[in-house]
């Protein structure tokens, strides 16, 4: 089925189960046999949404199974409708029971899943939902746990808890769990694709419905004063609307048009769904990235959903402040490093005109691992790509899909010989992911983000070449000018090699706030500011560079290890509590940041 964000209207209902739940760790893995799905024997309170790690001492580094439970009443007015349970994000593996019956299971920590529970419900007493979640770092998952190769750059460095990636493995129910209801015949999915013809905005809409009857039926599309009929065959219908003198969506004018889909029976409306769409196009032509036919430049950051106490969970105050600071600093974009972010963040990006590179959780891949592991990971990547595109395909803010961050195919440059079999295995893997992304969504370009010193062959499969580069930090430490020259040289080499638009999706240095030196030294605020300036200068002279995204927007929590002081990555331009470092002021001046409003 589809993954439309549930909404309340005159035909549908919505009940958010966010709030306090019962919680219990299950280190002995006894919960299933002991019937914890109906009641937890020794529960502690926990908020949903929230990661569990920052809340209780014994939960800090715990990634094994834990149980969430809550009792709920279904409002009597919902009787006669279909009732669904939707989990916004359970990181990583979840099993769900309603009234003691197992209703669904899901793998993957950052995308929603839905199950119909109409048959399981009772109406005369409370129902119980129980969700078992674990975030074990297993090699066949994505992101993978450490396999024989150790994983990505962070995996090779090591740390505790052991991960293949450089951020803390926060676990739990990270987004809302909601109940919603629909009529028996309902709108299951809507796909709106936009194009521009002259001054017209053209909106092509496909609708999938589930009918209780024969799979036929009628409906309508509405946008402003435009209307089109929908005629369903086997639950599918399509229609095109043409908006004259269209107001196109862009960062300068993020105009949204409400699009309403209805179903009808005997001339009576039986279901409706409304979403805000933006009329815009995005495409690659030669070495340029075009938005509405004009070259566009992405200024911004890699980010994390990361904040003290709430961990990786939806934190609306954080999002509102982060969008205000993006505006303050003059950025127009970010990448959802290294997993899909909350749907609220995508809705805000649509409304505020922020360009998003939308990434699946494929971080820490290493193609030196045995082929069985690669095959298992490909299946996971394909599933998460399908779910991500199903969830986010209608957001104008998403301008690029990204299928992986820093996959490795042998030792990094200068540390050993490349491994041709690993590069080959990666080529087959990424050819498949690229093909699937284009098949599911032919309207957006697709990229892969490469690590410094990693294989270059994989970039050739994609529409945009995206690279993470640290000349002056991980290499050329303490030598900013030499680093910037090496960076500029590689930009020209990559342009000559691929002739495609190029983006630098990470560049940055760890920076301790309040630590200063002149001339600049590593770890100081001056060093970060000058490092970023050198890279921005090199990019500014090269029109084929379509974006510069600093690593990272803010300091964020990592595992414990010798390369991360105090369990933090300090490459933020803002501190973890969102105070600006010197570099934030430098960027603001360069990017023309305005007020924070």
Interface contacts to ligand E9O, rule CB under 6 A: 153, 166, 338, 406, 412-414, 451-453, 468, 470, 474-475, 506, 551, 569, 571
Instruction: Specify whether the CB–CB gap between 468 and 451 falls below 8 A.
Output: yes
Q: For the chain, how are helix, strand and coil distributed in percent, rounded to 5?
A: 20, 35, 45
Provide the minimum distance between the beta carbon of 541 and ligand E9O in the complex, in angstroms, as a whole number. Answer: 24
Provide the minimum distance between the beta carbon of 538 and ligand E9O in the complex, in angstroms, as a whole number. Answer: 18
Provide the minimum distance between the beta carbon of 336 and ligand E9O in the complex, in angstroms, as a whole number. Answer: 12
Closer residue to ligand E9O (CB): 6 or 143:
143
Gyration radius (Cα) of the chain, Å: 24
In this structure, the dihedral spanned by the alpha carbons of residues 489, 494, 500 and 504, taken in order and rounded to 10 degrees, is -70
Provide the minimum distance between the beta carbon of 25 and ligand E9O in the complex, in angstroms, as a whole number. Answer: 28
Provide the minimum distance between the beta carbon of 467 and ligand E9O in the complex, in angstroms, as a whole number. Answer: 11
Sign (positive or negative) of CA dihedral 162, 166, 167, 173:
negative
Instruction: Specify whether the CB–CB gap between 302 and 339 falls below 8 A.
Output: no
- C-alpha distances in Å from residue 557, one per residue of 8, 160, 165, 303, 564: 36, 12, 12, 12, 9
506 is catalytic: yes
Sign (positive or negative) of CA dihedral 530, 535, 538, 540:
negative
Instruction: Specify whether the CB–CB gap between 364 and 343 falls below 8 A.
Output: no
Kindly report each contact of residues 342-347 with a partner whose C-beta sits within 8 Å and lies 24 or more positions away, as own/partner. 342/88, 342/89, 342/174, 342/175, 342/305, 342/314, 343/5, 343/88, 343/112, 343/175, 343/391, 343/392, 344/314, 344/316, 344/319, 345/305, 345/319, 346/392, 346/395, 346/397, 346/398, 347/276, 347/395
Instruction: Specify whether the CB–CB gap between 366 and 155 falls below 8 A.
Output: yes
Q: Is 541 exposed, middle or buried (0-12, 13-18, 19+ CB in 10 A)?
A: exposed
In this structure, the dihedral spanned by the alpha carbons of residues 164, 165, 167 and 168, taken in order and rounded to 10 degrees, is -20
Residues 6+ apart with CB under 8 A from 544: 287, 288, 495, 500, 501, 502
* Lookup: tokens for 355: 């360009």
Provide the minimum distance between the beta carbon of 175 and ligand E9O in the complex, in angstroms, as a whole number. Answer: 21
Among residues 134, 368, 506, 525, the one annotated as catalytic is: 506
Sign (positive or negative) of CA dihedral 579, 591, 535, 363:
positive
Provide the minimum distance between the beta carbon of 306 and ligand E9O in the complex, in angstroms, as a whole number. Answer: 11
Which uninterrupted H or E stretch holds 126? none
Q: How far apart are CA 62 and CA 45, in angstroms?
A: 17
CA atoms within 13 A on the CB side of 326: 30
Closer residue to ligand E9O (CB): 31 or 407:
407
Instruction: Specify whether the CB–CB gap between 432 and 470 falls below 8 A.
Output: no
Closer residue to ligand E9O (CB): 301 or 328:
301
Residue nearest to ligand E9O (CB): 453
Among residues 359, 406, 436, 526, the one annotated as catalytic is: 406
Provide the minimum distance between the beta carbon of 68 and ligand E9O in the complex, in angstroms, as a whole number. Answer: 28
359 is catalytic: no
Token pair 């950052």: residue: 110
- C-alpha distances in Å from residue 26, one per residue of 20, 36, 41, 90: 19, 10, 11, 16
Closer residue to ligand E9O (CB): 133 or 153:
153
Provide the minimum distance between the beta carbon of 293 and ligand E9O in the complex, in angstroms, as a whole number. Answer: 33
Helices H, strands E: what count in the chain?
A: 8, 32
Closer residue to ligand E9O (CB): 36 or 507:
507
Closer residue to ligand E9O (CB): 332 or 468:
468
Closer residue to ligand E9O (CB): 249 or 458:
458
Provide the minimum distance between the beta carbon of 161 and ligand E9O in the complex, in angstroms, as a whole number. Answer: 16
Instruction: Specify whether the CB–CB gap between 262 and 220 falls below 8 A.
Output: yes
Torsions phi, psi for 193 (to 5 deg): -115, 135
Token pair 């000058």: residue: 530
Closer residue to ligand E9O (CB): 15 or 157:
157
Closer residue to ligand E9O (CB): 474 or 523:
474
Closer residue to ligand E9O (CB): 22 or 459:
459
Indicate which residues carry an active-site annotation: 406, 506
């Amino acid at each position: 089925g589809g993954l439309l964000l549930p909404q309340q209207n005159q035909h549908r209902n919505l009940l958010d189960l966010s709030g306090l739940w019962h919680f219990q760790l299950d280190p002995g893995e006894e919960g299933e046999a002991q019937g914890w799905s109906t009641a937890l024997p020794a529960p502690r309170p926990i908020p949903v949404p929230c990661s569990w790690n920052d809340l209780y001492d014994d939960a800090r580094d715990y990634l094994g199974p834990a149980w969430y439970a809550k009792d709920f009443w279904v409002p009597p007015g919902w009787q006669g409708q279909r009732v669904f349970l939707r989990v916004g994000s359970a990181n990583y593996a979840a099993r769900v029971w309603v009234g003691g019956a197992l209703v669904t299971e899901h793998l993957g920590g950052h995308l929603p899943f839905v199950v119909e529970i109409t048959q399981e419900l009772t109406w005369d007493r409370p129902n119980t939902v129980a969700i078992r979640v674990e975030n074990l770092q297993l090699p066949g998952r994505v992101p993978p746990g450490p396999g024989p190769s150790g994983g990505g750059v962070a995996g090779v460095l090591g740390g505790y808890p052991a991960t293949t990636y450089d951020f803390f493995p926060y676990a739990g129910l990270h987004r809302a769990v909601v109940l919603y209801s629909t009529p028996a015949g309902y709108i299951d999915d809507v796909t709106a694709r936009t194009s521009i013809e002259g001054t017209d905005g053209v909106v092509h809409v496909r609708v999938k419905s589930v009918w209780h009857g024969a799979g036929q039926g009628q409906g309508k599309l509405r946008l402003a004063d435009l209307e089109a009929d929908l005629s369903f065959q086997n639950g599918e219908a399509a229609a095109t609307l043409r908006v004259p003198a269209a107001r196109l969506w862009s960062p300068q004018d993020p105009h949204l048009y409400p699009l309403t889909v209805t179903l009808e029976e005997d001339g009576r409306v039986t279901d409706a769904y409304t979403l805000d769409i933006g009329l815009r196009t995005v495409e690659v032509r030669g070495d340029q990235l075009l938005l509405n036919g004009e070259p566009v430049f992405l200024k911004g950051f890699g980010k994390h959903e990361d904040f003290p106490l709430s961990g990786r969970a939806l934190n609306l105050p954080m999002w509102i402040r982060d969008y205000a600071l993006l505006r303050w600093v003059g950025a127009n974009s970010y990448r959802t490093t290294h997993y899909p972010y909350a749907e609220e963040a995508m809705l805000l990006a649509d409304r505020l005109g922020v360009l998003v590179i939308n990434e699946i959780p494929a971080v820490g891949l290493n193609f030196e691992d045995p082929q069985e592991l690669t095959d298992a990971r490909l299946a996971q990547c394909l599933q998460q790509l399908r779910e991500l595109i199903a969830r986010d395909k209608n957001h104008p803010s998403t301008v690029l899909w990204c299928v992986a961050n820093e996959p490795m195919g042998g030792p990094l440059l200068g540390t050993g010989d490349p491994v041709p079999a690993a590069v080959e295995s990666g080529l087959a893997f990424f050819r498949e992911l690229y093909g699937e992304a284009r098949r599911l969504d032919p309207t957006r370009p697709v990229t892969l983000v490469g690590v410094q010193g990693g294989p270059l062959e994989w970039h050739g499969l994609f529409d945009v070449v995206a690279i993470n580069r640290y000349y002056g930090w991980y290499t050329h430490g303490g030598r900013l000018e030499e680093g910037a020259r090496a960076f500029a040289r590689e930009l020209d080499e990559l342009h000559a090699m691929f002739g495609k638009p190029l983006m630098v999706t990470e560049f940055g240095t760890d920076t301790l706030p309040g630590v200063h030196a002149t001339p600049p030294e590593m770890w100081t605020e001056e060093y970060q500011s000058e490092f970023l300036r050198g890279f921005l200068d090199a990019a500014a002279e090269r029109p084929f560079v379509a974006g510069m995204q600093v690593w990272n927007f803010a300091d964020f929590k990592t595992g414990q290890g010798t390369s991360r002081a105090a369990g933090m990555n300090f490459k933020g331009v803002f501190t973890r509590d969102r105070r600006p470092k010197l570099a934030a002021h430098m960027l603001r001046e360069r990017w023309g940041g305005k007020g924070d409003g």
